[in-house]
Amino acid sequence: MKKRILTGDRPTGKLHLGHLFGSLKNRVALQEKYETYILIADVQALTDNFLTPEKVRENVLEVAMDNLAVGIDPAIATLCIQSLIPEIAELTVFFSNLVTITRLERNPTVKEEIKQKANLFRGGVTMGFLGYPISQAADILSFRAEVVPVGADQLPMIEQTREIARKFNLIYEKTFSLPKAEVSKFPRIKGLDGQSKMGKSLDNAIFLADSQQEIELKVMKAFTDPKKIYKNDEGHPLSCAVYQYQSIFSENEELVDIKNGCQKGKLGCVECKKNLMKKTIAYLEPIQNKRHYYEKRPNLVKEILLTGTKKARKITQETMAIVKKRMKIDYFD
């Protein structure tokens, strides 16, 4: 029997190159070897977007289409919607007995996000947001998943999930195996500004669905080595955002030429950017063609999500029957 994967995305925006290399390529590569479930985590998205639910709603289909566009095959992998799987919410309640507030406050990913969302949480952090690692543990464990492909930023979440599983097993009875993170081999890619990681809210991302013109404009404005002002200046590729993308999209030999040309003042930034635009557009073309296919067929995408969610619930319902038995609340079974 194949081991089971559970992974997920928050539907708060379209997916971009950071997602592609950080997690999507990894899950596409694993979908044949594992029984794969991909959760569109709308409940989690609402923990910091509760004021703008329409944003979450709009992006459920977008994120599903992004997954399909990069090669998730609905015939072998299952896409499903978190809010339509109430067993996850139920399990979250039971798990919340096993986690202290201080433990949640120590979670580095949550800590970092609270800092970034200082505005939203000015009056205090909500229980929903502080507790979302518990809900993410419920995502993973309600599927009894053994492998969780994620970007490196999600490692603290998997660690916390393992703690919860361990504690549940100890207090009640051995029920869950401890899931393992499977981290993407690609390093985290920086945004077009060259400063921070690519993020949908930072205005520094190339989205999988960006048009040719958008890609051209974005690449033209991308951050390059500030010390290279004229073509003939010696450049420093390692501190250049454009070079970082060149290193993803170029063959080895070509990359060496770009690096040498830049360093020796033979290759100017404009020429280098034009070259990168072409490569980015060519790289995204098959993904976009597939995306267009699904964009024209929203009912097909909805059907995939509905069928997937039904299939997913069979598993989560089984899990809850076991959990309730172990917790001695299976009164009428």
Summarize as ranges the residues that interact with ligand TRP (CB under 6 A).
Answer: 6-10, 39, 41, 44, 136, 139-140, 148, 150, 154
- How near is the Cβ of 157 to ligand TRP at its closest, in Å? 6
Helices then strands (H, E): number in the chain? 15, 5
Nearest to 72 by CA among 33, 31, 20: 31
- How near is the Cβ of 243 to ligand TRP at its closest, in Å? 27
CA atoms of 12 and 24, how far apart (whole Å): 16
Single-letter residue type at 73:
D
Q: Which is nearer to ligand TRP, 49 or 154 (CB)?
A: 154
CA atoms of 213 and 227, how far apart (whole Å): 28
Q: Which is nearer to ligand TRP, 7 or 31 (CB)?
A: 7
- How near is the Cβ of 32 to ligand TRP at its closest, in Å? 19
Q: Which is nearer to ligand TRP, 140 or 165 (CB)?
A: 140
Joined together, the tokens standing for residue 313 give: 């619930």
- How near is the Cβ of 85 to ligand TRP at its closest, in Å? 11
- Specify which residues 226 forms β-bridges with: none
Q: Determine the residue with CB nearest ligand TRP.
A: 8
- Specify which residues 164 forms β-bridges with: none
Q: Which is nearer to ligand TRP, 65 or 148 (CB)?
A: 148
Q: Which is nearer to ligand TRP, 3 or 279 (CB)?
A: 3
Q: Which is nearer to ligand TRP, 31 or 44 (CB)?
A: 44
- How near is the Cβ of 161 to ligand TRP at its closest, in Å? 8
- How near is the Cβ of 133 to ligand TRP at its closest, in Å? 9
CA 164 to chain CA centroid, Å, is: 22
Please give the C-alpha separations between residue 161 and each of 97, 98, 167, 278, 327, in angstroms, as whole numbers. 14, 11, 10, 42, 18
User: SS3 for 147?
Assistant: strand
Please give the C-alpha separations between residue 101 and each of 107, 133, 251, 288, 333, in angstroms, as whole numbers. 10, 11, 49, 44, 34
User: SS3 for 6?
Assistant: strand
- How near is the Cβ of 132 to ligand TRP at its closest, in Å? 8
Q: Which is nearer to ligand TRP, 150 or 284 (CB)?
A: 150
